[in-house]
Amino acid sequence: MKFSSKIEKCNLSPIRKFYPYQVECAKRGVKIYHLNIGQPDIATPPAYFDAVRDFKLPVLEYAPSPGIPDMIKAVQGYYDNLGIHYATNDIFVTTGGSEALTIALNCILDDGDEIIIPEPFYPNYNTFVRATGATIRPLTTHAEEGYKFAIRERIEPLINEHTRAILFTNPGNPTGTVLTPEELRLMADIAKEHNLFLIGDEVYREFVYGGEPLETIGQFEDINENAIIIDSVSKRFSACGARIGCMITRNKELQQNAMKFCQARLSVATLDQVASAALYTVGSEYFNDVRDEYRRRRDTIYRKLLEIPGVVCKEPKGAFYVMAKLPVDDTDKFQTWLLTEFSDNNETVMYAPGNGFYATPGHGVNEVRLAYVLKCEDIERAMDLLAKAIKQYNELNK
């Protein structure tokens, strides 16, 4: 039987590929410090679970295709607090940020089209783009420069007659890069001047550590036709399992096309929307406490990385990831070795190898993404394990 050429161009997640090794490692009784997946350990606010317990309707009905009114109203209120008002029709509730991206990209990309994405980038962008028949035109960034990408002289040469959009994560996954207001304005200007869609994946918006105001491409009213915002409760409220996100745009034609997908999949889970709407009642003190905790973790992992000889990284400014170059030949091979051969006091560590975050072949071979989603003392131990493992691995491979 024949399969779609589009799906055959897609790959399995490079972040989850080591799961079989992880299982066997755990069977041997080895403790693994998981820095490989961005699953926060911060408690989900009780408001979510309270809303589930209080749900009393006798029938769990289909929700409206664009989302239940309470969820849309909650998102509106959140953006009102940022000084940006969206109409009800501007917001589409989705099954996580992933579906928001899938809907947006399927509406704007076609066979042979291109989309510019700074690399390293969230690996699932590969699947979302390839499934449309389009390709990623990577904007390569560098560890030594802190993975900066908002540079006109590097972006504009990538634009051609096939370019339809620019997509970036801000704050960045996997890099932790945060755009300055001037850099965000530059991205908006480039999209407007070249008549491109500008997709801002802003699911980590709350996680900035330098006291910056919360930024969004939605603040620029002159790009209402260009801007598409991807948002989610997953990271903001440590509710990844809720699978509730949204796509936001003021582009009326895009809204009409997005509704086709929303109606085709009927609706997003009703109960999860009810519970997720309740999350938006959480006060600012919640975010302040969470931000402070992640800042401590960021400071811990960055300090420990700088203590390892040969590591190259810059301080991440946001999200809860750091991308770093390690002094090893291949971080994919190194991770396999960490799970199959290495242990120190019956413990080892996992990260996400860097090559899966690049579209350019051969890039990221000696890079890793580390998610600082563990408590500070666990991060300290994980980095000590990494340092010992690097030294031992290199001695074995001289």
Give the model's pLDDT for residue 237: 97
- pLDDT on residue 220: 98
Q: How far is CA 203 from CA 104, 197, 328, in A?
A: 15, 18, 32
DSSP classification of residue 208: B
pLDDT at residue 377 in the model: 97
Give the model's pLDDT for residue 57. Answer: 92
Please tell me the class of the 5-43+285-396 domain. alpha beta
Helix (H, G, I), strand (E, B) or coil at 282: coil
Residue 191 · residue 198 · CB < 8 Å = yes
- In 3-state terms, what secondary structure has residue 303? helix
- C-beta separation of 246 from 67 below 8 A: yes
Give, for all 398 residues of the chain, the pLDDT tens digit: 999 999 998 888 877 789 899 999 999 999 999 999 999 899 999 999 999 999 999 999 999 999 999 999 999 999 999 999 999 999 999 999 999 999 999 999 999 999 999 999 999 999 999 999 999 999 999 999 999 999 999 999 999 999 999 999 999 999 999 999 999 999 999 999 999 999 999 999 999 999 999 999 999 999 999 999 999 999 999 999 999 999 999 999 999 999 999 999 999 999 999 999 999 999 999 999 999 999 999 999 999 999 999 999 999 999 999 999 999 999 999 999 999 999 999 999 999 999 999 999 999 999 999 999 999 999 999 999 999 999 999 999 88
First to last CA, the chain: 47
Between helix 19-27 and helix 331-340 the angle, nearest 10°, is 20
Would strands 367-371 and 352-353 be described as parallel, antiparallel, or unpaired? antiparallel
Sequence spans of domains, the chain: 5-43+285-396, 46-279
- In this chain, the answer to whether the domains covering 5-43+285-396 and 46-279 adopt an identical fold is no
**What is the fold of 46-279?**
Aspartate Aminotransferase; domain 2 (3.40.640)
pLDDT digits (tens, 9 = 90+) for 21-76: 999 999 999 999 999 999 989 999 999 999 999 999 999 999 999 999 999 999 99
Helix, strand, coil shares, percent, the chain, to 5:
45, 15, 40
Q: What is the pLDDT of residue 15?
A: 74
Contact 318, 178 (CB under 8 A): yes
What's the predicted TM-score (pTM) here?
0.96
What pLDDT does 16 receive?
Answer: 78
pLDDT of residue 178: 97
C-alpha distance from residue 242 to each of 103, 188, 192 (Å): 19, 31, 35
